[in-house]
Amino acid sequence: MSVEDKFNDKKDQVSGKVKETIGKVTDDKETESEGKAQNLAGKAREVFDDAKEKTQKAVDDAKDAAQGVINSMKKDKDDDK
């Protein structure tokens, strides 16, 4: 996740919370609901992006481990010659 993505996710969360609060103060249920939705959307994107980042790291780690095994097997085979 890029810094820009993280910033945008947090910006939506804060903006949504502000909008929600304005809606509560002014007794405007529509604005309050829009704020809640914007806040939740920012949180959801943040969770999704974090999961995506962790999954990519796990895939990269598995590839590295597999490559290490392959390299070790090649070395052992070359040593047998």
Query: What pLDDT was estimated at residue 44?
Result: 96
Burial (CB count within 10 angstroms: exposed 0-12, middle 13-18, buried 19+), residue 71: exposed
Record the tokens describing residue 29, joined without a space. 């249920």
Instruction: Give me the pLDDT at residue 67, please.
Output: 94
Could you give the CA distance from residue 15 to residue 8 in angstroms, rounded to a whole number?
A: 10
The b/e string for 35-51 (b: 16+ C-beta within 10 A; e otherwise) is beebbeebeebbeebee
Assess whether pLDDT exceeds 80 at residue 41.
yes
- pLDDT of 81 above 90: no
Residue 53 pLDDT exceeds 80: yes
- Structure confidence at residue 5 (pLDDT): 87
pLDDT one-digit tens code per residue, 67-79: 999 988 888 777 7
